[in-house]
A and B are shown apart, each in its own frame.
Chain A
Amino acid sequence: MKDSNSPKPSRPDGHPSSAGRDESQRQNLGRAVRHSALPLKRLWLHYFSMGGTAGEYELNAYIHSLYSLPEFQQDILAQAANEMIDMLPSPPRASYSDEADHDWAPNAEIQR
């Protein structure tokens, strides 16, 4: 994969500035996907459901910098990833003194 270091634009109509923007968009997507551990299969399905045209194999290659996607496809993928992240259960939060036993009440009822 020597090519990734050469200044060759990623698309025929690409120029250095758009190539740079492409790369940071790709990196941000990769970070988001890894951080939330989004499963590739589901990410592809969601992307496909929004009109994405690349295959699961191409998405994987794109995330790993081995393949480039047209800007439009990158934007669909970004929207798909963000929606999946928004659907994840929120992480557990701390509670305050006036609401501390709020979460425990239902369980206590069952244990009686």
Chain B
Amino acid sequence: MHNGEGIPTPNEAKQGQPSGHDQGSAAGEHQLASQLGDLVRSLNQESPEAILELVVAAAIELIPGAEEASLSVVTGREEVETVAPSSELLRRLDDLQVELTEGPCLEAIYSEQTIRVRDMATEARWPVFAEKATEAGVGSMLAFQLYVVGDNLGALNLYSSQVDAFDDDSEHVGLIVASHAAVALADAQQVSQLHEAVQSRDVIGQAKGILMERYKITGHQAFLLLAKASQHSNKKLQVLAEDLVNSGELSSGTK
């Protein structure tokens, strides 16, 4: 790392600046560290959607070699969805991997390691995908698993039109970006899941109240009524509760 550059002048903002003892021997890292710090702070308290877009933008800016980026998010058991791609081409390439059930993004998610494709044209691990990606102008790729303890969230995928665009530096920086992205995403998902759960609880509570008043029954009996209707109609209890609250009718037969 070269000296001199990146050492702050006194009139720059003090937040996050090196201490007086800093010799400037790692100036390049400082810049990166403070950029990563900015990223982490910007991810805090955002909605899941905003986090995804911020992460993609930051990945392209911070990770050496990255021209385009996207995220693959695990939405259910063995279900993966492409989100926040920096171009439509990436959406097609990521969707193609899901369709083929092969490719670097899925490999990163399920093999739980970083996947580097040096030259897409000679890539033999996923021949069908590699051929399509090469046709689309992809030279090389780098994919990181996004995970927190006990939860596999997806992958951060980087694309370049150049062959061998990604080096060890790209992997190191990318891993830091991916780790921060995973933690922020896990938090945001948890908050939004709880938010949905509380809304659902409220609707089901209202539905129970309607039935209790209508049939002079207990809350437990009202719940069982909804549960039986759910089994008969093959609809989720929450959906039936919503219908009941909106229409005043409890649909019990098949749809």
Rounded to whole angstroms, the CA-CA distance of A78 and B231 in the bound complex is 12
With the chains together, A110 CA to B78 CA distance in Å? 21
Known contacts A75-B220, A75-B224, A83-B237; decide if A49 and B200 are in contact (CB<8 Å).
Answer: yes
How distant is A87 from chain B, measured CB to nearest CB, in Å? 8
Give the distance to chain B from A84, nearest Cβ to Cβ, in Å. Answer: 10
Interface size on B, residues (CB 8 A): 29
Asked if A75 and B208 sit within 8 Å, CB to CB, the answer is no
* Contacting residues, chain A, for B201 (C-beta < 8 A): 48-51
Determine if A12 is an interface residue (Cβ-Cβ < 8 Å).
Answer: no
Count residues of chain A with CB under 8 A from any CB of chain B: 21
User: Interface centre among A49, A76, A110, by most B CB within 10 Å?
Assistant: A49
Q: Which residues in chain A, 64-112, are within 8 Å of chain B measured between CB atoms? A: 71-72, 75-76, 78-79, 82-83, 86, 88-89, 106-107, 110-111
A107→B6 CA distance, assembly (Å): 52
A78-B237 Cα distance, complex, nearest whole Å: 12
Q: Is B100 part of the binding interface, using a Cβ–Cβ cutoff of 8 Å?
A: yes
Interface residues of B in 222-255 (CB under 8 A from A): 223-224, 227, 230-231, 234, 236-238
Q: Say yes or no: A110 contacts B200, CB within 8 Å.
A: no
Give B43-83 as 1s and 0s: 1 = Cβ < 8 Å from A's Cβ atoms: 00000000000000000000000000000000011100000
Query: Would you list 15 pairs from A and B whose C-beta atoms are within 8 A, ordered by A residue?
Result: A45-B194, A48-B201, A49-B196, A49-B197, A49-B200, A51-B201, A75-B220, A75-B223, A76-B223, A79-B237, A89-B77, A89-B78, A110-B96, A110-B132, A111-B128
Interface residues, chain B, with chain A CB atoms under 8 Å away: 76-78, 96, 99-100, 128, 132, 193-194, 196-198, 200-201, 204-205, 208, 219-220, 223-224, 227, 230-231, 234, 236-238
Report the 9 A-B pairs with minimum CB-CB distance, sorted nearest first.
A49-B197, A49-B200, A72-B220, A79-B227, A51-B201, A51-B204, A48-B197, A50-B204, A45-B197
